[in-house]
Amino acid sequence: MEDLGSTAAHHERFELLKGAEQHKNALIEELLWKVETLNTLYENKCLDHERETNANRNMQLQTNHLQGQIRKMERNPFVLVLIDGDGMIFQDYLLQDGEQGGKDAAASLWTDVLSYVQLNLPDLPSDINIVARIYANTKGLAETCARAGIVSNGSTLEDFTRGFTRSKQLFDFVDVGHGKDRADDKLSEVFKLHLYDCHCRHILFGCSHDNGYARLLEELSADRQAVDRITLLEGVPFERELLLLQSTFKKSTKFPALFRSTKISIQQQAAPPQQYGSLPAVTRTASQQPQAPTNANLTPTSWASAATFSPSSSVLSPPLTPTPANTSTTATIRRNKHGQRLDPPLKYDHSEVKRVRALKLCNTHFLRGDCPYDPCTHVHTAKPTKNDLTQLKVIARQAVCKYGTDCDDPKCIYGHRCGAMREGTTACGFGLDWECRFPSEMHFKDVTPVRTLKV
């Protein structure tokens, strides 16, 4: 019995040991699981750390690169001065002083702009560069100033522009040549090019004489950042549409010692400059446009049959002429809805035009009452009939008016629209534009008058 009892006790003890072994195994398994879990977490943390380290390193490299770019962007900051020289004209005393006047104008402009920047744009560096671009038809401007008596001859103004350009390395007076809106177009494109240029911190825009720039500025009205970068520079008083924009473009200034505040006034104006399109801001009164008397060999470009005449013939440039003594006669100027001048219609006969041409009558003597030629190679002593004078007007209109469709001389005898055009179209009877002496802007089909000016 003792032996049996002893065996049961062993079984009991064995069961106890078996349970302890299971607990031990469970503990070991739990510890192993926790180790594996911690290893996984550790590996993930290592990956995260490596990723963050790489991200921080890349961020630092990118930051260094951007800081380098910013430093480059901050180099050579400048203020841009853009001026339409056809309308914002320097004071007479500067123009009269030729090349030295140009140098003085450049120095004064630099000083005035720098003072404006320091007083009104404190965020800009005090040593900021100043870039000035003036665009103008210098030949037209020179001839206008000469006719107004501001300068003795056109070369004085050419000397002025040369002095202005040579005075400062970043100052340029650019001749855009003749042509409608050439200065406007160049100025607008340069303006748009630099408006968001990081190096260009501010633009002084000299355009107060021309409502056409209102379209350009209106497009920027909603862009406050762009508006804050623009100062309107006033010469002559702002035109109406530009004046309305001043509630949006609050920055404006003027340099009265430097630019004229009035348009050039010409009381007795001689021959207009030989170009079409925009001219310097000028008030024209009783302007004259004499032309060399028409020669029998000269060929018209209109009414008298395009096929009858050679389109390649040239017209002599008219000289300067005084105002005719009789200026009291009331005359009218008709214009279409686009503001283009319309010549009154004339009845003519091809054979009559040819006959009157052969008489070699002086156009300016018989149609204007004053001939500038002494001696004149054409006839002054004839007594033409009313029909002869009508045909003579047809002949005179075959010469291009140098003011183009903008001409406001009520006594002008020259053509403002090509008469060889086919009715209802802009097609010229000569075919190609270069074969006709009338420029493309004088080939328009709208001949319906909507406005008449009595002078």
Report pLDDT for 134: 95
Is residue 302 predicted with pLDDT exceeding 50?
A: no
119 compared with 327, residue with greater pLDDT: 119
Written as one letter, the residue type at 420 is A
Report pLDDT for 430: 61
Query: Hey, is 430 helix, strand or coil?
Result: coil
Is residue 8 predicted with pLDDT exceeding 60?
A: yes
Report pLDDT for 76: 83
Is residue 15 predicted with pLDDT exceeding 70?
A: yes
Q: Are 209 and 236 in contact (CB under 8 A)?
A: yes
pLDDT, tens only, 234-282: 999 988 888 888 888 889 999 999 999 998 877 543 334 433 333 444 4
Q: Would you place residue 343 in the very low, low, confident or very high pLDDT band (cuts 50, 70, 90)? A: confident
Is residue 333 predicted with pLDDT exceeding 80?
A: yes
Q: Would you place residue 451 in the very low, low, confident or very high pLDDT band (cuts 50, 70, 90)? A: low
β-sheet bridge partners, residue 81: 132, 204
- Which tokens in the block code for residue 397? 């209109």
Q: Quote the strand ranges of 24-112, DSSP E.
A: 78-84
Report pLDDT for 106: 95
pLDDT, tens only, 135-153: 998 888 888 888 888 988 8
Report pLDDT for 277: 37
State percent of the chain over pLDDT 90: 27
Cα–Cα distance, 73 to 199 (Å, whole number): 6
For the ranges 176-190, 196-210, 271-285, 413-427, the maximum mean pLDDT occurs at 196-210
Cα–Cα distance, 234 to 209 (Å, whole number): 8
Report pLDDT for 111: 93
pLDDT, tens only, 42-71: 999 999 999 999 999 899 888 888 887 777
281 compared with 334, residue with greater pLDDT: 334
Is residue 448 predicted with pLDDT exceeding 90?
A: no
Report pLDDT for 284: 39
Report pLDDT for 315: 37
Neighbours of 172 (CB within 10 A): 14
Report pLDDT for 425: 67
Query: What does pTM read for this prediction?
Result: 0.51
